[in-house]
Structure 1
Amino acid sequence: MKTITHLCLIRHGETPWNVERRLQGHLDIPLNETGLSQAEQVAEHLPDLPYTALYASDLTRTRQTAAPLAKKTGLLPIVTSRLRERHYGILQGLNPEEMLSQYPEETAHYDARTPSFDAVNGESLQSLHDRITVLMDRLAKQHRGEYIILVTHGGVLDIVHRWINQQPLDTQREFPIPNAAYNWISHNDEDGWKIEAWADRSHLANTLDEL
C-alpha cells in the first residue's frame, strides 16, 4: 500500500498592492479588508482532515492568512523565509506601467521569464525554483504519510505547478493562481509528485489572480 503525503498550498489573501497590480516580492505588505475576510473563509471551509503541520512564509500577508488556520487546526504556524515570494530586485513596488517606463530592459526579461534574470540583486526564476523544490522534497520526507498546510505566495505556486507538470520556467503561465484558493498536491515514494486539485476557490465570493 502506498504511503501518500498530502499538502494543501494556499496563496495569501488579497493585499492593496494586489489590487494595484504592484510587484510585492519581499516587501512586507499586509492584507486589506478583503484579504482578511478571505483568510477567515479559507479556515472556515478547510476540509476536516488530520493535519500535522502548518507552515507559512515569514511575511505579514502570509502570517495573517495563516492565523485563522492556526485557530481552526490548533497548530502553531512554523514560519520560514524559505516560503517567501521571489525577490524582484529593482522591480519590487512597481506596477506594470511603471516597470516598463522606468526599467524597460529589465521588464523585457521579466515578461519573457528569462530563467537567469535576477532583476538586479533580486532572485532569478531558476534560483526560486531551486529554493522551492529542495524545500518541497524535504517536507515530503519529513512529513511522510501526513497532511500538512503551506501558506505562501503566487510565485512559489507558479514554481510548484510547473515543477510537478515538468513545464519550463520560460513559458507563459496558462493556469490560475488566485488569492486564498486551495491547491492540493500529493507525494508518494513510488510515483513522486502529483497535483490533486488546483485553484479551488469555491469558498470565495471573488478573488484576484496572481500578477
Structure 2
Amino acid sequence: MRTATLTNVLLVRPGATEFDEQGRMKGSLDMPLSDRGEAQAEHLAKELSGVEVKAIFSSPCESARETARRLARQQHLAGRDVKVKVIDALRNIDHGLWHGKLIDEVRRNHPRFYRQGEDFPEAFCPPGGEPVGDAKARVGKALRKCVKRAREGVIAMVIPDPMATVVESILSGDELKSVWDSETDSASWSMIETELG
C-alpha cells in the first residue's frame, strides 16, 4: 500500500502596495511594494529565516517578486542557496474594469456583486475580469507541478491575495471563503501540509 507523501507549503502574502493601503482592488496589476510594504517584507523574511525551504515560487507581480527576493536573501544568509522561480500561472486574479476600484465603493454601489463575492466566491467575476472558478482551475495545475518538485520538504510560494486565498483553499481542501476577506496584502504567512501533487 502506497502511503501519501506530504509537502509543507509556506504560503506567503507579499508586503503591501499603495493600493492595498488604500483598500483598492489591485488584482493582476503589477505594482511595487509601498514603503510600508518593503518594511513588512523585510520583517517577514527575517522572521522566516529559520525555516529551511527547498524552493521559492513566486507570482509574476512586482510586490511578490520583491518579497520572494527578500526571502531568498535571508535563506542565503542562513547558508542555503535557494533561487526564486517565477510562475506565470500564479498571477493574481484579473479584476477587469474594477482594477483600482475601492472595495468600499463596490460594497456601496454594487451590492448584488458584493454579496455574490461573499456567498458564492467561485462564481464571482468582476466586469471584464476573470471568474474566480477559472482562476482556481488555472492555478491548481501549477500548484501540483510545484508540489511534485519538492516532496518531503518545505516550499515557499509568494502569492498576492485574493489568489493566495484561492491557493490556500486548494492546498488545505477547505471551502473558498468570501473574496472580500482577502483583497489586500500585508506580508503574512501560513504553513500548509498538503498531499496535492
Fold agreement, TM-score > 0.5: yes
Is 1:87 paired with 2:101? no
Q: Cα offset for 1:43?
A: 1.5
Identity over aligned pairs, percent: 23
Is 1:16 paired with 2:23? no
Aligned pair in 2 of structure 1 residues 132, 63: CA closer, same or farther (>3 Å)? same
Q: Is the 8 A contact 2:13 2:185 kept in 1?
A: yes
What does 1:74-113 correspond to in 2, within 5 Å? 74-99=81-106, 106-113=113-120
Q: Is the 8 A contact 2:12 2:188 kept in 1?
A: yes
Q: Is the 8 A contact 1:117 1:124 kept in 2?
A: yes
Q: Cα offset for 1:174?
A: 7.6
Q: Cα offset for 1:182?
A: 1.9
Is 1:180 paired with 2:182? no
Q: Cα offset for 1:156?
A: 2.1
Is 1:137 paired with 2:144? yes
Deviations 1:63-95 (A, max 9, x none): 111121121223221112211111111111100
Structure-2-length-normalised TM-score: 0.80
Aligned pair in 2 of structure 1 residues 54, 162: CA closer, same or farther (>3 Å)? closer
What does 1:120-135 correspond to in 2, within 5 Å? 120-135=127-142
The whole-number CA distance in structure 2 between the counterparts of 1:97 and 1:4 is: 40
Structure-1-length-normalised TM-score: 0.76
Q: Which amino acid aligns with 1:35?
A: G
Q: Is the 8 A contact 1:125 1:169 kept in 2?
A: no
Aligned pair in 2 of structure 1 residues 151, 165: CA closer, same or farther (>3 Å)? closer
Task: Give the equivalent residue in structure 2 for 1:55.
Answer: 57
RMSD: 2.9
- Which runs of 5 or more structure 2 residues have no equivalent in the other structure? 76-80
Q: Is the partner of 1:179 in helix, strand or coil?
A: coil
Q: Is the 8 A contact 2:11 2:168 kept in 1?
A: no
Q: Which amino acid aligns with 1:5?
A: T
